[in-house]
Amino acid sequence: MEAGYVILGLILAVVVIKFVKDGKSTPVKKVSTPKKPAERKPSNTELKKLTKNQLLDIADKKGIKGVQKSGAKAKVISQIRDNWEDDGDEEEL
């Protein structure tokens, strides 16, 4: 019978030591989600890298009024820049 108590005591000691040891472990750090960078109007250089069709698509998606599809690419770029509203819904270029 005494052997049973010894085995039970050893098991209990192992369990207690395990919980004490786990309690001293380093806490898990929370990873914060990165915030979006500040939204901004694209520069002329960024817009010049796009084709005229891509510029017209951006104007349609963004809801920019006053962009003439028959105009030259430079004219379309200036119309987009002039009528762009910074409302935090910038399209990735």
What digits encode the pLDDT tens for the residues 61-75? 888 888 888 889 999
Residue 58: burial class (beta carbons within 10 Å; 0-12, 13-18, 19+): buried
Q: Is residue 90 part of a domain?
A: no
Q: How many domains does the chain have?
A: 1
| Amino acid (one-letter) located at 88 | G
Per-residue confidence band for 90, with pLDDT thresholds at 50, 70 and 90: very low
Domain span at residue 21? 2-25+39-83
For 14-70, write each residue's pLDDT tens digit: 888 887 776 655 666 777 777 766 557 888 899 999 999 999 998 888 888 888 888
Residue 70: inside a domain: yes
In a domain, 15, yes or no: yes
Q: Is residue 91 part of a domain?
A: no
Asked if residue 47 is part of any domain, the answer here is yes
Q: 76 in the Ramachandran plot: left (φ > 0), alpha (ψ -120 to 50) or beta?
A: alpha
For residue 8, being part of any structural domain is answered with yes
Report yes or no on 34 lying in a domain: no
Residue 55 neighbours by CB under 8 Å, 6+ apart: 47, 67, 73, 76, 77, 80
* Position 32 in a domain: no
pTM above 0.85, yes or no: no
Burial class of residue 76 in the structure, from the number of CB atoms within 10 Å of its CB (0-12 exposed, 13-18 middle, 19+ buried)? buried
